[in-house]
Amino acid sequence: MNAHLEIAPEVRAAIDAGSPVVALESTIISHGFPYPANVECALEAERIAREEGAVPATIAVLAGRLCVGLAREQVEHLATAKPIAKVSRRDLGAIVASGLDGATTVAGTMVVAAMAGIRVFATGGIGGVHRGAERTFDISADLLELARTDVAVVCAGAKSVLDLPLTLEVLETHGVPVLGYRTDEFPAFYSRTSGLRVDARLETPEEVAAVMRVRSGLGLGGGIVVANPIAPEHEIQRATLDGWTDAALAEADAAGIRGKDVTPFLLGRLHALSGGATEEANKQLVWSNVRLAARIARAL
Ligand code: PSU
Ligand code: MN
């Protein structure tokens, strides 16, 4: 264990005992939802993990410590304090060295989860290749982290504001399997379909765990994407989303939003343009992913 890790006693006990643990990220708290939806999303995610028999381990950097498992006040701090840095792999060194707070992205959370020995992680949607990446080169570090760090990321696909075909191409290039959970199609975050195929379809948490065990046995390294479509009753149809997405992308362009600010800006604009509909769908898909992640952790 490295000296910068701070693992909550309950999480440490579960890891040591080989009991199920699910990692949760914190960028979604500080940058993915407005207050108080962010607190509600995070606390309900933890409750669902427990209900399914897993210990939740929300991950963030607090006062330069890599915290694995947060107290309620720490979640509230991440949800309300401004500004909280958005921390990916590249940011970890500077944030820890300066003793600051940071909310970890999918990539940042994977790094810390792997350090702690946690193998299953639930989020909303992974980052990916942004539309227009041929000009901007904006490709989320989440994809490269999946290529190198052995953590299963349970998500509702990649966020629909992205270029989904190119996102799948980059994952393929880097040898990252995209497994559809009870689906043949790569889900598009708020909607269940994208017209794009997954690499393999699995029907049960045990089947996901079996793939993870084989991959470890083969020494393949790197993570997997477990793509779990949003439930039909919470889905937003793609045709409905397209108008809001085009508007949000145009606003981002006009406002000159770049780099790490792009994703939070787009999600925030979608929440506003949709009158809260995307916010509700986002919460529901996160909770569904946590439930599945807990079952996979149990099967492991
Ligand atoms: N999933 C959500 N909401 C979010 C994110 C994921 O439902 O806000 C965050 C994750 O932390 C992911 C990040 O890593 O968006 C992607 O940011 P970027 O495109 O800058 O890599
Ligand atoms: Mn980016």
- Model confidence over 249-279: pLDDT tens digits? 999 999 999 999 999 999 999 999 999 999 9
Look at residue 170 and tell me whether its pLDDT is greater than 90: yes
Q: Supply 46's token pair.
A: 């933890």
Domain boundary among 118, 133, 164: 118
CATH number at residue 24: 3.40.1790.10
Region 282-299: mean pLDDT is 98
Domain boundary among 118, 137, 169: 118
How many domains does the chain divide into? 2
- Same-domain pairing of 202 and 285: yes
Best mutation site among 92, 111, 123 for ligand 1 pocket (most ligand atoms within 8 Å of CB): 123
pLDDT at position 83 is 93
- Same-domain pairing of 75 and 166: no
Taking each helix axis as running N to C, give the angle between helix 277-299 and helix 205-218, from 0 to 180 degrees, rounded to the nearest 10.
60
Look at residue 1 and tell me whether its pLDDT is greater than 90: no
Residue 80 exposed, middle or buried by CB count within 10 Å (0-12, 13-18, 19+): middle
- Same-domain pairing of 90 and 136: no
Look at residue 6 and tell me whether its pLDDT is greater than 90: yes
CA of 192 to the centre of ligand 2 (A): 24
- Same-domain pairing of 246 and 178: yes
Query: Given the DSSP bridges, would you call strands 224-227 and 152-155 parallel, antiparallel or unpaired?
Result: parallel
CA of 170 to the centre of ligand 2 (A): 14
CA of 160 to the centre of ligand 2 (A): 14
- Same-domain pairing of 91 and 141: no
pLDDT tens for residues 108-117? 999 999 999 9
Residue nearest atom 11 of ligand 1, based on CA coordinates: 105
- Same-domain pairing of 147 and 245: yes
In the structure, what pLDDT confidence band is assigned to residue 233 with cuts at 50, 70 and 90? very high
Q: Is 283 in the pocket of ligand 1 (CB under 6 A)?
A: no
pLDDT tens for residues 143-168? 999 999 999 999 999 988 999 999 99
State the residue range of the domain holding 185: 125-300
Look over the chain and give the mean of its residue pLDDT values, rounded to a whole number. 97
Q: Supply 73's token pair.
A: 């006040």
- Same-domain pairing of 32 and 134: no
pLDDT at position 146 is 98
Percent of the chain beyond pLDDT 70? 100
All residues at 6 or more sequence positions from 16 whose CB lies less than 8 Å from its CB, including other chains: none
- Same-domain pairing of 14 and 151: no
How does 103-141 read in b/e, with b if 16+ C-beta sit within 10 Å? Answer: bbbbbbbbbbbbbbebbbbbbbbbbbbbbebeeeebbbb
Region 234-262: mean pLDDT is 95
Ligand lying nearest the CA atom of residue 27: 1
Active site residues: 25, 159
pLDDT at position 249 is 95
- Same-domain pairing of 139 and 62: no
Ligand lying nearest the CA atom of residue 162: 1
- Same-domain pairing of 114 and 129: no
- Same-domain pairing of 154 and 292: yes
pLDDT at position 280 is 98
pLDDT tens for residues 120-135? 999 999 999 999 999 9
Q: Is the pTM of this model over 0.85?
A: yes
Distance, CA of 148 to CA of 138 (rounded, Å): 19
pLDDT at position 276 is 96
In the structure, what pLDDT confidence band is assigned to residue 228 with cuts at 50, 70 and 90? very high
Region 77-90: mean pLDDT is 97
Domain boundary among 93, 118, 143: 118
Look at residue 197 and tell me whether its pLDDT is greater than 90: yes
Q: Is 124 in the pocket of ligand 1 (CB under 6 A)?
A: yes
- Same-domain pairing of 157 and 252: yes
Q: Is 288 in the pocket of ligand 1 (CB under 6 A)?
A: no
Number of neighbours of residue 235 by Cβ within 10 angstroms: 21
